[in-house]
Structure 1
Amino acid sequence: MSGAPEDLAERPVHGVRGEPFRRLLTTWTATSVADGVRAAALPLYAAVSTRDPVSVSAVAAAEVVPWLLIALPAGALVDRMRCRGTLVAAHSFRAVVTLLLVWFVHSGQTGTFVLLGCAFLLSSAETFADSATQSLLVSAAGERELERANGRFVGAETIGVEIAGPLAAAGLFAWRPELCFAVTALAFGFAAVWILRVSPEVEPVRAAERRSMAGEIRQGAVFVLSSPGLRAVVGTVGLVALLTSAVNAIAVLFVLESLGLAPSTVPTLLVCTAAGTLVASRTTAGLSTRFGGAPVMTGALLVLAGGVAALELVRLPGAAWGAYFLMGFGAGTWNVLSSANRQRLTPGPMMGRVTSAYRVFAWGLMPLGAAAAGPLAEVTSPATVIVVAALSIAVVAGFCAPVLRRSLP
């Protein structure tokens, strides 16, 4: 009996206050800043070094393509491996690739193919890291605190990818472009070391229970589509992503031409979006506890629709900044709760496959929305595209509300 208190004290504490979650959140924050620097610096360097629109768009595409080509097999492989080891390998690989990019940039040997290869490899490794992180998040936070844990993650990602990363990239790029990638490599290297002490580990799928790779990928996709809760969430996300990508594609042109804003003010609109998301990351767990997850998710979509509509319908000073804040708050609230419910509905051994399948289904329509926005705005007007998108998001919210109430825990 005398040894019981010591044994109890040595057990890892679960929840957002526990050491495992804090270490995982620190790792996520570091890599989010690294991703923010890379997302800003790599296309910019491609533009400056090549002066070729085709090369710039190809590099941008190379950063997205792995989420469609690599994510599904990556999720299946993550379920077969130790998540902590997967993260160490993924972050170490990204550190090495960005160090090579530092050397190429410093020596002046960066061509289009080098930039394409680095962009593709970095995003490919990110698909492994994302799936493994989702599994460790559930085990470190515990099921009862998933909303709070995902709020912390959304907040850290917003600060890193949308605020700190781009600001750091702007300063470093003006000094020496290769420093952007050196800082990125340092952050990935730190993450690879820091993650080593995250526990508890998630048990991989046993060899006796494994299927073929194609069979396991299919199993993850079928689980997403056959689970009423996941099907409702991913269907809603897919439709809303289609509509918001259309808005994002023409919103800058709209605020410049129709609202008469100066080009220098456009970055401040994006900061307002990030601010709305940050507020959502801190308040969503409390709102869900008080009002229930499904009603808050429906309300988040209506707030998002209201923010989109306000861009066109409210012609008052400062309205555009308020509209972007509302869009960030609505999207952030939805992301926190949809992530928590996806994790809660997914068996632990399938987290990697379900996460990757969810990403593909949810994001697969985004290129279509972005591609369709321009021609539709040309035939009608940018304002028409924005208003139709806002109304469509509100209709989606109305249709999904009863489904979410029935199918979510």
Structure 2
Amino acid sequence: MSQSELRETRAERSLWRDGNFLTMWSGQALAQLGSQVTELAIPVLAVLLLNATELEVGFLNAAGVAAFLVVGLPAGAWIDRMRKRHVMIWADAVRAVALAALPLLWWAGLLEMWHLYAVAIVIGVATVFFDVSYQSILPSLVRPQQIAEANGKLQATYEMANIGGPAIGGWLIGIVAAPLAILTTVGTYLASAVALLLTRDHEQPRAADDRAPMLREIGEGMRWVFGNPLLRRIVTTTGIFNFSHTLSMTLLPIFLLRELGLSPAAMGVIFSLGAVGGLAGAIATPHIVRVIGEARAIPVSAIAFGVVACFLPLAATFPAVAFPLLVAQGFVASFTVLLYNITQVTFRQRITPSRLLGRMNASIRFCVYGVMPLAALAAGGLGTWLGVVPTMWIGAIGEVLAALFVIVGPFWALRALPDAGE
């Protein structure tokens, strides 16, 4: 092959030359940025404007993720029967309309905590359908050898949003108040829907004769996930980590705004600086995988994000250095979680048949996200009973223990994770 032909082949293989992927990617970049603004604005609204208690913050967090427990499994079976891009467009539209209700209620002087719960539930259901479709659509947009690169780009965008979103959110809250800052996210969800309308995929809906009863299809997805010993260990570690992490993160707004006395702007800066680690992790993951191997990246990252979880409650013990301690915790945690997620998501997309992608992702999300509403409720109860800081210590210890399921196992003996059919 000549040098010119080699350059043409590389250009064809580069996602930077794929206008279709870039269209979808740009829409997701805006949506992720807006989502980060709202993730800061809604807790600030609840804690500072509506004077929410620990228990009410727990209910609010639980409402936002309850859908993964309630509709997570059937969503996968439904999505495997539909065009995933169309599902994502409708989900964006629903999220935009639901969020727009909050500033309107605030402007009318009617906003109460139960409105936040209701909006969180609606957005949570739409997000379940969006996220399962989002993690299942890549094989219909890019070639198999480009999936890891595409995941890396999408995760890097997510971390860029984590960097800019909280800082922008903190600034907007200071300028126009939390309810109006939420309108930013409404606009970005609408932009995402337009980008998806302009995206083209080659997905073919499953034929009617390739469909089984719903419960059987759900069971097929669960058996696929738990029948693979490597996936089973990954799901167990991720589920315990998410439960424990949610115990801490549910009470984080109260911890930062009340216990440490920080401002919303300072809270946004902490999140933004910590998220730089995620961007670094997305960039460094291919290099780390080449050095230590794809399989070993799983336990290495699990050990690291478990250990640094203890930095969070330590900030209460050393308030003089709380700010840099929290930034360091966020940086290392974001870096290692990105290394873990890019590696394991690429692995499971690679080994799963296309007809099972939706159910595979929904089954995993049911297990690893379905524990989060339970953890949020537990955080509200424990925070009321024991206090904020002891609850965060319980969460940190749980994150350390979560790593055991991938530390003890076959990952160290492997270098590369298996491909489909191996």
Which interval holds the TM-score relative to the shorter structure?
0.7 to 0.9
Specify which of 333, 342, 350 is matched with residue 336 of structure 1: 342
User: Unmatched 5+ residue regions in structure 2?
Assistant: 1-7
The aligned counterpart of 1:298 is 299
Equivalenced residue count is 395
Q: What is the one-letter code of the residue matched to 2:112? A: G
Secondary structure at the residue paired with 1:93? helix
**Equivalent residue for 1:23?**
23
Trace 1:3-402 onto structure 2 (pairs within 5 A).
16-17=15-16, 18-53=18-53, 55-160=56-161, 162-174=162-174, 175-245=176-246, 248=249, 263=262, 269-308=270-309, 321-366=327-372, 371=378, 385=394, 388-389=397-398, 392-393=401-402, 395-402=404-411
1:260-308: CA deviation from partner (whole Å, max 9, x where unpaired): 9874676555444312111011111232234321012222123224434
TM-score w.r.t. length of structure 1: 0.81
In the TM superposition, what is the alpha-carbon distance from 1:254 to its structure 2 partner?
Answer: 9.5
Give the partner amino acid of 1:227.
N
* Separation in 2, partners of 1:282, 1:131: 24
Q: How far does the alpha carbon of each residue in 1:164-221 deviate from its partner, in whole angstroms, 9 at most, with x for none?
A: 3333333333314443232222111111111122222322222111122222222222
Separation (CA, whole Å) in 1 of partners of 2:328 and 2:295: 25
Q: 1:45 to 1:272 in 2, by over 3 A?
A: closer
Residue 43 of structure 1 aligns with an amino acid whose one-letter code is P
TM-score, normalization by structure 2: 0.79
How far apart, in 2, do the equivalents of 1:171 and 1:266 lie? 11
Q: Which runs of 5+ in 1 are unaligned?
A: 1-8
* Alpha-carbon contact 2:298-2:411 (below 8 Å) kept: no
Using the alignment, how far apart are the partners of 2:398 and 2:57 within structure 1? 28
SS in 2 for 1:141: coil
Q: Which deviations, in whole Å up to 9, do the C-alpha atoms of 1:135-185 show, x marking residues without a partner?
A: 22232232223222222222222232x333333333333314443232222
CA contact (8 A) 1:230 1:345 kept: no
% same residue? 23
The letter of the residue matching 2:280 is V
CA 1:408–1:45: 2 relative to 1, 3 Å: same
How many angstroms apart in 1 are the aligned matches of 2:117 and 2:185?
17
State the structure with bigger RCO (CA 8 A, min sep 6), 1 or 2: 2
Deviations 1:304-325 (A, max 9, x none): 2443467769x99756644442
Cα deviation code 1:77-98 (max 9, x no counterpart)? 2111111211221112222223
CA 1:99–1:402 in structure 2 vs 1: closer, same or farther (change >3 Å)? closer
Distance 1:85 1:321, change over 3 A: closer
For the aligned residue pairs, the C-alpha RMSD in angstroms reads 3.7
Conserved in 1, the CA contact under 8 Å of 2:58 and 2:251?
Answer: no
Q: How much does 1:65 deviate?
A: 0.8
Residue pair 1:91, 1:188 contacting (<8 A) in 2 also: yes
Cα distance in 2 for partners of 1:356, 1:141 equals 21
Cα offset for 1:399? 0.6
Output the CA distance in 2 between the equivalents of 1:43 and 1:255: 11
Task: State the match for 1:3 in structure 2.
Answer: none
Task: Summarize the Cα distance change of 1:176–1:52 in structure 2 as closer, same or farther, 3 Å threshold.
Answer: closer
